[in-house]
Amino acid sequence: MELRLSDISKSFAETAVLQEINDTFSAGVYGLLGANGAGKTTLLKIITGLIKPSQGRVLYNQLDISEQAENYRAVLGFLPQDFSYYSDFTGMKFMLYIASLKGLPTKLAKKRCLELLHLVGLDAVKNKKIKKYSGGMKQRLGIAQAMINDPDILVLDEPTVGLDPKERVRFRNLISSFAKNKIVLLSTHIVSDIEYIADCILLLKNGKIEAAGTAEELVKEISNNVWEATVDESLIVNYEKNYVVTNEKHSTEGTVLRFVTKETLISNAQRVEPTLEDLYLYYFREEGRL
């Protein structure tokens, strides 16, 4: 199984949103990480065939997805960012509705809906109307509906929005166990959501894939460049001008500043292990200053 993005570019009017994206996905979890407006939703919509690229092609098993639309839809599961629900439906009724849209036979549909509602922890509320659901419950229902046809390719746009920390952990476990022999693509701007589950992280910046690899591979770029130093609070503004500051921890002894730079003149600065969050903030430093 292979999904290939071949030279994808997308412009809206005169504005280039994606530029010459090339990548090949085989079974595994891929995390698309980027700041707001980086082009994540646009890229995922192109991958699902919802919008067409201005240039380039998406190939599923070597064939353009536009030439095998029906076949492709059958192996695809999608959670859009702006997913809307029928609020008067119960969770179960909604799932059955999606199952019928996907053409699942009635008996199988019921079994599959119950299984999935259990997997996302919505058993207890499956007969409640969706309008009574919390944001996190709705999001879990959205994830469940995307998995209804046991898709080979699961595309999730910002799936963890609205999930509390416990739900996030449950989500990560769910995706890890689901992903065997499947392609899972998910977008987020929350580093910790994909740090542990993504086999490959793609950093999307200004419509281009700036870097791709495992978390360990990616952070190598800034190894030896992440520091911590205890500094006087009044000097922080100056440091922020010269360094990419990734954390500030205030205490009675002063402020522990964490920052990324090649060389530093701060005498008590010590090198520390880089994290993916350091790398993210380093890549998206301009956005951080808005």
Ligand X SMILES: Nc1ncnc2c1ncn2[C@@H]1O[C@H](COP(=O)(O)OP(=O)(O)OP(=O)(O)O)[C@@H](O)[C@H]1O
State yes or no: residue 160 binds ligand X (CB under 6 A).
no
For residue 204, the minimal CB distance to ligand X (Å) is 7
For residue 251, the minimal CB distance to ligand X (Å) is 34
Nearer to ligand X, 37 or 135 (CB): 37
Nearer to ligand X, 193 or 228 (CB): 193
State yes or no: residue 286 binds ligand X (CB under 6 A).
no
State yes or no: residue 86 binds ligand X (CB under 6 A).
no
For residue 207, the minimal CB distance to ligand X (Å) is 8
State yes or no: residue 37 binds ligand X (CB under 6 A).
yes
State yes or no: residue 182 binds ligand X (CB under 6 A).
no
State yes or no: residue 47 binds ligand X (CB under 6 A).
no
Binding pattern for the stretch 6-35 against ligand X, x by CB under 6 A and - elsewhere:
------x----x----------------x-
Among 3, 29, 40, 281, binds ligand X (CB under 6 A): 40
Nearby residues of 86 by Cβ (< 8 Å), 6 or more positions away = 94, 97, 130
Among 22, 24, 36, 173, binds ligand X (CB under 6 A): 36
Nearer to ligand X, 122 or 200 (CB): 200
Nearer to ligand X, 38 or 281 (CB): 38
Give contact residues for ligand X (rule: CB under 6 A).
12, 17, 34, 36-42, 81, 189
